Amino acid sequence: MQKSKSSLAALTLGAIGVVYGDIGTSVLYAMKEVFGSGHVAFTPANVYGILSIFFWTLTVIVSLKYVVLVLRADNNGEGGLVAMLALASQAVKDKPKLRQVLLAVGIFGTSLFYGDGVITPAISVLSAVEGLEVVSPKFKEWVIPLTLIILLGLFGVQKRGTSGIGRFFGPLTLVWFMTISALGVAHILRHPEILMALNPLYALRFMWHNPGTTFIILGAVVLCVTGAEALYADLGHFGKKPIRLAWFSVVMPALTLNYFGQGALLLANPEAVKNPFYLMAPDWATLPLVVMATAAAVIASQALITGAFSVTKQVVQLGYLPRLNLQHTSVRDTGQIYMPAVNWGLFVAIVLAVLMFRSSSNLAAAYGIAVTLDMLITTILTFFVIRYGWGYPLPLCIAATVSFFVVDLTFFTSNLLKLIQGGWFPLMIGGCVFTLMMTWKQGRQLLNEKLRDDAIDLKSFLESVFAHPPTRVAGTAVFLTAEPGTVPNAMLHNLKHNKVLHDHNLFVTVRPHEVPWIGMDKRLQIEALGHDCWQVVVHYGFKNDPDLPRALDQIRGRGCELEPMTTSYFLSRDNVVPTIGGGMATWREKLFAQMHHNASAAADFLNLPNNSVVELGSKIEI
């Protein structure tokens, strides 16, 4: 019992650092943007109304939607939009057209994650460093250079892994939440009447009297729920109970106290609207607060970068992106990975965002469209999961999701007003990623169709080969093939050029699935083909780490003993040639051919020993 309590405490502390680092830094800029927008007249009644809207936005979107409802939709313990997409597509697998639509919608939502992943670190770090302007106006010219230096340092250390410093994330973020709580309490004690804004009537009254203004400022109010998606995305790392406990015991109380403290400060000193968070602190504490806020912003950004690596790996295994160079940064934790292309691609985009927008207020104009659209997509997918996956009655499913759908849609349409000011930027990034994903998926389908059309049936081919068998050589040959039951090109080339066949031959197809994990007991499907040949299908979930030699170890004792020193892996390296009038637009076929060419080697992806791999090339027109 004691051990389970300490484990829960450790997981809750970890969740505070990783899951809530992002939403914890929203206090730096959310209130400032609402009142700094110029749309809200500065009156005590409006301060009460805005605070009430903030509190009930956190309650409805985070507490009720994500913590209570969405966290229930786990996919074998895993969360996130990819896991939700897999659940929804499985739930409607008997409705192929609907399934295709949901897959496209879900993949588009996943693409938007990258747009959000560019804006969030930029606005978090920039708003933290902007506290230097409160210390002294002379520091203004140093804000952007210092922000870029911090971001370069953050992305530069990714290849070394974060397991060493990761254990400090929870305690440091807990100190951050305690600090912002203390700042809020200090001002609330001077104006305790501010707590009346907890009453939803203040929010309803503001919205009733100012419907147009309310619609406009929702684009800034949404800043208070930055990182809400992380709640669900990190479900697999921490579990439901620690995430819920961290939210209700630490995070939401701290955010509420700080926002209400900012409101109390604004009632006492309307001039503080230029940066209410930093102006809450006494002069002597401003500089230490800037340092602490920067550390919190870096931790929040780190969690997002790690999430980008994890999501990309899952998308690759679902077949929507080519294989990318992936490095494990920890021998103990397989989840600690580093992807150079993703890391430096994100960095370049974030630097562009900082240099283009140049302030957290300008970046706030870019934030919101991508994240609210993601929230809307999550709500839509949730409906299909609880209706078709869990089989709940239709009225209950509608009741559970329609209110959240209306809230998400309202926030999204409000954020569309920011499209020209900067909202186009994350949408452009998401659109580019979506184009890449769909091009790769459709290109792979065209390539597989071409391979199937040209394929030779494996069983009949082996019968003809063994009618007049070639010379057999010692050892085991593993031939990788995209479709089971077909002759791999690598085998045809090997017979043509080397005119030999190994003593043992495995024809292996690797199959990704729309579930997070597939255990070792369900890893292999084996079919004996005779003449010491076997057809093997290897199954992986989108969270599994592909390791073909380890998977094939299970064949031992079934007539084929794989010895590492005498096993060779034969791979086909297909050179894709685009053709006019093919299955996709010419520019997309050229894009696919380039992506296919630049994909990391299958040998690395499947963890094959480098000194045992033989690659044989062939040209394929699509």
Indicate the domain borders of the chain.
2-442, 455-621
> What is the token pair recorded at 557?
């004792």
Q: How high is the pLDDT of residue 162? A: 63
Task: Give the global pTM.
Answer: 0.86
Q: How high is the pLDDT of residue 334? A: 54
Residues forming beta bridges with residue 500, ordered by sequence position = 471
Q: How high is the pLDDT of residue 497? A: 84
Confidence at 323, pLDDT banded by 50, 70, 90: confident
Confidence at 3, pLDDT banded by 50, 70, 90: very low
Upper half-sphere CA count for residue 375 (Cβ side, 13 Å): 33
Q: Going by DSSP bridges, is the β-strand pair 337-338/471-480 parallel, antiparallel, or unpaired?
A: unpaired
Q: What is the pLDDT of residues 248-283, one digit of tens each?
A: 999 999 999 999 999 999 999 988 888 899 999 998
Mean local confidence (pLDDT), 49-63? 95
Confidence at 333, pLDDT banded by 50, 70, 90: low
Burial class (CB in 10 A: 0-12, 13-18, 19+), 583: middle
- Is it the case that residue 494 has pLDDT exceeding 80? yes
Mean local confidence (pLDDT), 80-90? 87
- Is it the case that residue 21 has pLDDT exceeding 60? yes
- Is it the case that residue 165 has pLDDT exceeding 70? no
Q: Spell out the alpha helix ranges (H) of 326-386.
A: 340-357, 360-366, 369-384
Q: What is the DSSP letter of 138?
A: G
| Long-range Cβ pairs for the range 480-484 (8 Å, 24+) | 480/508, 480/509, 480/510, 480/569, 480/570, 480/571, 480/572, 480/602, 480/606, 481/507, 481/508, 481/509, 482/448, 482/451, 482/509, 483/448, 483/451, 483/452, 483/455, 483/509, 484/458, 484/509, 484/535, 484/537
Q: Going by DSSP bridges, is the β-strand pair 524-530/533-541 parallel, antiparallel, or unpaired?
A: antiparallel
**Average predicted confidence (pLDDT) for the chain:** 88
Domain 2-442 adopts which CATH fold?
Amino acid/polyamine transporter I (1.20.1740)
User: Which of left, alpha, beta for 161 (phi over 0: left; psi -120 to 50: alpha)?
Assistant: left
Mean local confidence (pLDDT), 346-359? 93
Of 175-189, 326-340, 379-393, 446-460, give the lowest mean pLDDT range: 326-340
> What is the token pair recorded at 266?
């604004």
- CA dist 458 and 466 (Å) reads 12
CB atoms within 10 A of CB 138: 9
Mean local confidence (pLDDT), 194-223? 93
Confidence at 343, pLDDT banded by 50, 70, 90: very high
**232 and 382 Cβ atoms separated by less than 8 Å:** no
- Is it the case that residue 153 has pLDDT exceeding 70? yes
Mean local confidence (pLDDT), 447-462? 85
**583 and 442 Cβ atoms separated by less than 8 Å:** yes
Q: What is the pLDDT of residues 24-46, one digit of tens each?
A: 999 999 998 888 777 787 888 99
**546 and 565 Cβ atoms separated by less than 8 Å:** no
Q: Going by DSSP bridges, is the β-strand pair 471-480/524-530 parallel, antiparallel, or unpaired?
A: unpaired
- φ, ψ (nearest 5 deg) of residue 588: -75, -35
Cβ neighbors of 378 (< 8 A, separation 6 or more) are 70, 81, 84, 109, 229, 232
Q: Going by DSSP bridges, is the β-strand pair 567-577/613-621 parallel, antiparallel, or unpaired?
A: parallel
Q: How high is the pLDDT of residue 25? A: 92
Residue 465 Cα to chain centre, angstroms: 48
Strand order in the sheet with 500-513: 524-530, 533-541, 500-513, 471-480, 567-577, 613-621
- CA dist 503 and 508 (Å) reads 16
Strands annotated E in 172-254: none
Confidence at 238, pLDDT banded by 50, 70, 90: confident
Position 136, amino acid: S
Confidence at 330, pLDDT banded by 50, 70, 90: low
- Range ranked top by mean pLDDT from 331-340, 377-386, 576-585: 377-386
